[in-house]
Amino acid sequence: MPDTVFNYLQLVRAPAVFTTLSNILAAHIIVTGGQIQWTGLLLLLVVSAVLYMSGMVLNDCFDFNEDSRDRPTRPLPSGRIQIKTAWRLGWILIATGLVIASMVGFRQFIIALLLSALIIFYNAYAKKTLFGTLVMGGCRYMNWLLGLSIIPFLPEHFILALPIFIYVSSLTLLSTEETTATRRRYVIFSSIGMLICAITILFIQLKAPYLQLLSGSILLLSLLLILFRMLKTYQNFSPLQIQKTIKMLVMGIIPLDALITLSSTYIGGSIVILLLLLPGWMLARSMRVT
């Protein structure tokens, strides 16, 4: 892979882009009853991807001074990508996402606009505060709503997107410690958040009784795996261990989306979503996820 391409893939956190695609796929499959609306789905996948990449680029732009001190090997502070180029790219990606969303419809444009506002607010102001964890969760919540927006919203759609909000807010709280590792209690708080996420999934309506045992068993095993990893992180509370855990949790968004889709009886859709793990983990082997 040419160095320039690798640097830009690293800048936009390419492995994690697949987690945004899984959000859209899961939401779309559920809300359409598996009757895919291909044009709308493909456009929303592009919107989700470019807005996520814009957030990653702007994150590094706003953090340029901090990264120059603490993370000098990253693409911007190392000079492999010029800061002016990155700023331009970040805003172009946001504009592109909004234009494409408007092509799908007014509802999609409004959601993309709100998502863009949350992205900018998080990067410019909120990420240095505890409130930022909820803002980041809100970004993923809006991304799920974007996938659900292919039809007019129903009240249950806003509940359906709650697990991703809780999950991402919880992992974001832990991620605030990945360079300093000073507040061990955040591991406990994040673990509680993961438990609440699992409970929320249980309250999502299960349409096929024969799947309840399967999806419930997978949910329990997944929760135990996460809590075991959290225990290891609590015992070895170091930046490296936290970074490994965050990487696992971020890529775990894909199985979470697949599980929610399975809970709504769409086995085939769950399998398709899980396949996104393959390119995501392949890229994650050679570049950062956060």
Question: What's the pLDDT tens digit per position in 232-279?
Answer: 999 999 999 999 999 999 999 999 999 888 877 678 889 999 999 999
In a domain, 93, yes or no: yes
pLDDT at 205: 59
Range of the domain at 98: 3-284
Residue 193: partners with Cβ closer than 8 Å, 6 or more residues away: 166, 167, 169, 170, 173
In a domain, 268, yes or no: yes
φ and ψ of 88, to 5 deg: -60, -45
In a domain, 19, yes or no: yes
Lowest mean pLDDT of 60-69, 200-209, 252-261, name the range: 200-209
Return the H-helix or E-strand segment holding 142: helix 131-148
Read off the pLDDT band of 207 (50, 70, 90).
Answer: low
Map tokens 């690798």 to a residue.
6
Of 207, 172, 203, 178, give the one whose Cα is nearest residue 190: 172
- Count of CB atoms within 10 A of residue 228's CB? 10
pLDDT at 40: 96
Q: Is the pLDDT of residue 229 over 90?
A: yes
In a domain, 289, yes or no: no
What is the Cα–Cα distance from 214 to 32, expressed in whole angstroms? Answer: 23
In a domain, 150, yes or no: yes
In a domain, 10, yes or no: yes
Mean pLDDT, the chain, rounded, equals: 92
Q: Tokens at residue 236, please? A: 């070895």
Read off the pLDDT band of 211 (50, 70, 90).
Answer: low
Q: Is the pLDDT of residue 29 over 60?
A: yes
Q: Is the pLDDT of residue 149 over 80?
A: yes
Total domains, the chain: 1
In a domain, 142, yes or no: yes
Q: Is the pLDDT of residue 287 over 90?
A: no
In a domain, 290, yes or no: no
Helix %, strand %, coil % of the chain (to 5) = 80, 0, 20
Map tokens 């591991």 to a residue.
187
Among 106-115, 149-158, 178-187, 221-230, which range has the highest average pLDDT? 106-115
Q: For 79-88, which contacts have Cβ atoms below 8 Å and span 24 or more sequence positions?
A: 80/3, 80/7, 81/7, 81/8, 81/11, 86/11, 86/57, 86/60, 86/61, 87/58, 87/61
